[in-house]
A and B are shown apart, each in its own frame.
Chain A
Amino acid sequence: MNAVEMRGITKRFPGIVANDQVHLSVNQGEIHALLGENGAGKSTLMNILFGLYQPDEGEIFIREKPVKITGPTKAAALGIGMVHQHFMLVEPFTVTENIILGAEPTSRGCIDRHRAEREVREISEKYGLRVDPTARIRDISVGMQQRVEILKTLYRGAEVLIFDEPTAVLSPQEIDELMEIMENLVREGKTIIFITHKLKEIMRICDTVTVIRRGKTIGSTSVKGTSEQELASMMVGREVSFSVNKQESRPGKTVLKVQSLTVKDSRGVEAVRGLDLEVRAGEIVGLAGVDGNGQSELLEAITGLRKAHAGDILLNGEAITRLQPRAIARRGVGHIPEDRQKRGLVLDFSIGENMVLQTYDQTPFAKGFLLRYPEIFRHAKRLIEDFDVRTPDEQTHARALSGGNQQKAIIAREVDRDPDLLIAAQPTRGLDVGAIEFIHRRLVEQRDKGKAVLLMSLELDEILKLSDRIAVMYGGRIAGWLNPKTTNEEEIGLLMAGGKVGEEVAQG
């Protein structure tokens, strides 16, 4: 039986057709992957199913009955629940309070807290969610928060659960646990629609996959009968190479040297504790670690965004420890920031303006105090072409670009400044395979040009694929150095979790 069927769905927005005659049919009790690049129309389709948008054309059937989903309330009544990518939780409230919000059980006009807690606990145990109903949201981990979102939909009687890119925010450990939960859910008879662009996850857990490209359904296939390679080409529309072709690195002189560096985080707690690190010209050093082990603070200290508490940072032998971000950038540090929309771009600026975010006051972009827009836009045009940034033109606002193209724009800007040290923090987070492939190639290209590259990533895959040496961070220190050729995910995972590994490569 089909739990959900969407036939000939078309949705137009001013200027684009987000869904064009899309077809999706999901069997009862399966995990159905919805695969597509960013901007392919997955979210639009799911928002239609969840009642947030009304389709311009097409029909929807829930358990074989035609329905009209006029809003989220109607969707909930039909047993459709959505676990959003960005959680919709009230931070100071407890888990239970968040779950019952809007559907509070009452007795004599008051909220029946005990009944609510009991019910939440029951559901939690049934599906192996292991959530403490009395904990406050702000005190629990991101993975737990996601489970609260899942509980929320279950509490409202969801039979079909939509997961919108649920693994994007999780650590590898948490991803494993999520997969387990999803299996539990299906075992109990629920149906799951899993929006993703991560092929590994699909291969691992899904039964069926529907691929969408540029608003159109490309095809639907059983996961057993396909491969990552095939899915990737379906999604991107061409052959994709997974492996990175790179030659042996020829490391040169030391570009970055970090000596017993200590950095405090925003709460004043030491996030980096006496860390030593060296990156040489012509090599990629991969910085692995579970999120929150001081990687972000380390990179912020190197780029001058955060003050170092103690220790030294040397660039080409010169101390840059106490310099302002601009001075550091001008001495030859390029930085692809972790959060591209918060740090990397001014979304309401044009692409052209974003391309000169650090260099706007230098020739040829400025003459005295005056900006020279023709030069700025000419520069942007060149970068857009060189780095294949898909944008209508250089005057388009950065906001209008897809995530992948925003990231390409940042990389274009940073690489073009020709820095001796390129810091790339999570450069491919949330991007689709096409964009990932492009960005990986660019990073290796920098290495081959004799630049030093420091790559921070939470994706072990990426670290293993690109790095010449791997530094694993744990508790604000480098827990160990590994050779990517001889190590494996398990070994890195062990170090990331604070364990010890026998074989290590010597530093330097």
Chain B
Amino acid sequence: MKHLEQIHNQSAWLTSLISVLLGMLVGAGMMLAAGYDPLLAYGALFQNAIFQPYDLGETIRTITPLILTGLAVGLAFRTGLFNIGVEGQMIIGSLAAAIVGLKFSLPPVLHSAAAVAAAAVAGALWAFIPGLLKAVRGVHEVITTIMMNFIALNLSNWLVRTWLSNGADSTDKIKESASLRWDLLSQWFDNSRIHLGIMIALLAAYGMYVLLWKTTYGFELRAVGYNPHASEYAGMNVKRSILSSMMISGMFAGLAGACQLLGTSGYLSIRGGFEGIGFDGIAVALLGANAPIGILLAAVLFGVLTYGGGNMQFAADVPFEVIRVVFAAIILFVAANLSQSIFSRARGMRREPHA
């Protein structure tokens, strides 16, 4: 625990917690102003997201890719990189998983494992390009990763239209052997689409923790993230660190894509635009202070809000957009680090009488 605390110190916990509460308060204020009942809405939200096995399963399904995209963004952040390309790396991951799931024939467990691995590799390779440009030419990764997102989107759409389907808007379903669904698990959760991706996500979170805080390589990645000059002085290979950090980040994003495709949808369709799960990963990482445990908790929160938010319009007629406002408000509060000033003021007031 001592060590964990160091990674994710107490003030970060408080910042996140207070930001969440404030964010939800802002949402409540908006609902009141628009004439909705915030208690009813939030009640419906949480009740719907958690209390029934089916909903719990679907909520976990929603959480799964958020954990992975959050880890992807968080890991890059830790090494001083801002990977906005998680969305695109995820699309490429989905694409690779779909190709393996559709075009290959393998025995059940092996098939899904191969599809997951393909997605991870594809995501890593997609992130390799901006990583290389950053390391070698110093091109800012924010610009390149955004560009790569659009390339990924259009590449995926083009391949779906031309190769993976016959001019239709979506591919067939992947072969059963490649699916990440597990009947027993689905049954426990009342036939919801929960899938083994959640195990992948949890393993990835643990993997990130071990990599960054337990291995010599993670030591290098973190050092480069905090201070590339000192890392160079200490004889670390800064360029290699940037490159591999981007690739590991892309790998997580690719895994998120695999989960979406092999677990949730089972097919790839032409996208009109970005789904935004990769971008939500930025919010998750920010709220989770770029630490694995924090990212897990933040993903849980955002997953609950996203899935439960669907029920708000159902039970309380509150439009889903309110949930996006709550998201945005939470992130705003985290970024502005309001809790810090609130706390220091509270502390100051407490001291005043003694003075």
Contacts and interface: CB of A to CB of B under 8 A. Distances in A.
Nearest to B3: A373
Contacts of B227: 342, 345-348
A369 B219 contact: no
B6 A369 contact: no
B234 interface: yes
Interface stretch (A29-37, A198-206, A349-357, A381-389): A349-357
A238 B236 CA distance: 42
Nearest to A337: B233
B182 interface: no
A347 B226 CA distance: 8
Interface stretch (B84-92, B210-218, B269-277, B287-295): B210-218
A173 interface: no
A434 B222 CA distance: 33
B214 A357 contact: no
For the residues of B in contact with A, the DSSP-based class is: helix
A57 B352 CA distance: 10
Given A57-B355, A371-B214, A324 B223 contact: no
B233 A335 contact: yes
Interface in A312-339: 324-329, 335, 337, 339
A124 B216 CA distance: 56
Contacts of B355: 56-57
Interface in B233-287: 233-237
A222 interface: no
A343 B217 contact: no
A325 B230 contact: no
Contacts of B344: 14
A366 B232 CA distance: 20
A366 B218 CA distance: 12
A344 B233 contact: yes
A134 interface: no
Given A14-B347, A346-B231, A370 B226 contact: no
Nearest to A361: B216
A342 B6 contact: no
A266 to B, nearest CB: 13
A395 interface: yes
Nearest to A397: B6
Interface in A43-69: 56-57
Contacts of B237: 324
A395 B355 CA distance: 32
B248 to A, nearest CB: 14
Nearest to B347: A14
B216 A342 contact: no
Contacts, number: 76
B217 A369 contact: yes
A332 to B, nearest CB: 13
Contacts of A343: 229-230, 232-233
Given A369-B215, A369-B217, A342 B230 contact: yes
Given A14-B344, A360-B219, A305 B233 contact: yes
Nearest to B351: A12
A358 interface: yes
Given A344-B233, A358-B235, A371 B6 contact: no
B235 A366 contact: no
A14 B351 CA distance: 11
Interface in A426-474: none
Contact of A395 (B6, B218, B219, B351): B6
A156 to B, nearest CB: 30
Given A325-B233, A343-B233, A345-B230, A370 B6 contact: no
B219 A342 contact: no
Contacts of B215: 369-371
A349 B347 CA distance: 28
Contacts of B6: 350, 395
A13 to B, nearest CB: 10
A195 to B, nearest CB: 26
Interface in A5-40: 12, 14
Interface string B200-226: 000000000000011111111011001
Contacts of A329: 234-235
A129 B120 CA distance: 63
B235 A344 contact: no
A373 B210 CA distance: 13
Nearest to B222: A349
B216 A346 contact: no
Nearest to B6: A395
A349 B216 contact: no
Contact of B226 (A56, A344, A349): A349
B219 A353 contact: yes
8 contacts: A324-B237, A326-B235, A329-B235, A343-B232, A358-B234, A360-B219, A370-B215, A371-B215
Interface of B: 3, 6, 213-220, 222-223, 226-227, 229-237, 344, 347, 351, 355
Given A12-B351, A56-B355, A303-B233, 11 more contacts: A14-B347, A325-B235, A329-B235, A343-B230, A344-B230, A345-B230, A349-B223, A360-B220, A361-B216, A369-B216, A371-B219
